Amino acid sequence: MSEEDAGPVEWPVAVRVPVEPVEAAMEADAADAAASHSALAVRGPLFGVAWQDRDHEGERRWRVIVEVTHGCPQQARDALNSLLWFRAKDEAKSRQERRALLAAVARLETEHVDELTVLGTRYRVVRAEEYAAVDEHGGIETPRPTDPEPLTPDWSPGAGAHSPRVDNGLVLDPDAPLSPLQAAERIALRPLAYSGTGFPGPVLSDSARAVESHPDVLLMPAAFLIVERSGDGPWSPGSGLQATAHDARRTLDFALTWMEPRTRGLIPYDADRTVDARHLAAGSTEESVAELRELAEAADRLRAGRSYEVEAHGTVYRIARSRRLLRWGPDGPEGPRPSDTSTHAPAVLHPRLDEEGAVHFDEPTGDEPAS
């Protein structure tokens, strides 16, 4: 990388040499990964919400309050809408506080709001770029040995409810010290921008402009998801992001034993929830039993150890290691770009809540005509 590509000198990076055994092991894992997976595959943007209170104005630290996993800006705005509505309902200590929160909700119900300040707290919809490391054969990186794993894997149906959420409590601090390899990756990714004829002109222009307006980047903690491929086709995502590799593995176990049989027509959608590839319904045909057995055996191989890849019916399923970066400028993390699109418009999401905290369930929402 040239000196010109290394980023502006006004964006220094603090480097801390790992001294603890765990830190040293993680750095060694990162070095091995960089050697074996030297290219990047960029999937596209993800969105969430970060906040900063008035006591920290002028600092560079923000905190994630809505996980940066949403596929479009409006999904993140909707999540902020719900968060503020429930805060008004359950936490407001006075009519004045509730009025301020409800005013913000009203804006989010009708406007494409990417930043607002409520009761001294600044909220911003933030944009991250999701990418993965790939090897010379196009293989997507799997979890590293030092990525977090439970000591005793829990495969029970309700285990996901107790799992950590992606970005839970995450502080975004571009001034925090990094290990040497983390610092090198951060500096190397500062010039990252879309290129090629496959992107519309506005997307390319916005991407190039973001490198100038938000010249620094912040690397977010790794997350994990299922990717799948049939034959020689490309890898495609098969799940949302999970906080740990085991959460993704448990999601794949459910997909293979419960969802895939229903998607393939091997088990009716209206069958009892306890019926799956491991627990067959009475009257299953010989052909369906054979197909279900292949799915169950793949799921059993997944459970046999810390496996990251299984195959069933010609499809390879892999637990992939996802990485995300936030572009960072003088005023903090980057928000949505003009060329970022949403799948839906702002809307009323909850019943009317009055200033006294009473919920009016019997009133029509913005999506329902008055009778």
Distance CA 244, CA 159 (A): 13
Q: What is the average per-residue pLDDT within 320-333?
A: 96
Cα 266 to the chain's mean position, in Å? 31
CA dist list (Å): 117 to 202, 264, 271, 357: 29, 48, 48, 21
Q: What confidence tens digit (pLDDT) does each residue in 137-177 have? A: 889 999 999 998 888 888 887 777 778 899 999 999 999 99
pLDDT at 366 over 60: no
**What is the predicted pLDDT for the residue at 367?**
55
Distance CA 166, CA 68 (A): 8
**What is the predicted pLDDT for the residue at 3?**
39
The H-assigned helical ranges of the chain are: 21-36, 73-90, 95-110, 180-189, 201-213, 245-254, 260-263, 286-303
What residues contact residue 236 under an 8 Å CB cut-off, 6+ apart? 227, 228, 229
Report the residue count for the chain: 371
Count the Cβ atoms, other than its own, within 10 Å of residue 175. Answer: 11
Distance CA 360, CA 354 (A): 8
Q: How high is the mean pLDDT of the chain?
A: 91
Q: What confidence tens digit (pLDDT) does each residue in 268-292 have? A: 999 999 999 999 887 788 888 999 9
The pLDDT > 90 percentage for the chain reads: 78
Q: Look up residue 242 and give its two tokens.
A: 């999970």
pLDDT at 132 over 50: yes
Q: What is the DSSP string of 40-107?
A: EEEEEEEEEEEEEEGGGTTSS-EEEEEEEEESSHHHHHHHHHHHHHHHHHHT--SHHHHHHHHHHHHH
Distance CA 8, CA 5 (A): 9
Q: What confidence tens digit (pLDDT) does each residue in 191-222 have? A: 999 998 889 999 999 999 999 999 999 999 99
Are 65 and 149 spatial neighbours (Cβ–Cβ below 8 Å)? no
Q: What confidence tens digit (pLDDT) does each residue in 224-256 have? A: 999 999 988 889 999 999 999 999 999 999 999
Q: Look up residue 83 and give its two tokens.
A: 């968060």
Token look-up 């027509």 returns: 265
Token look-up 């990525």 returns: 147
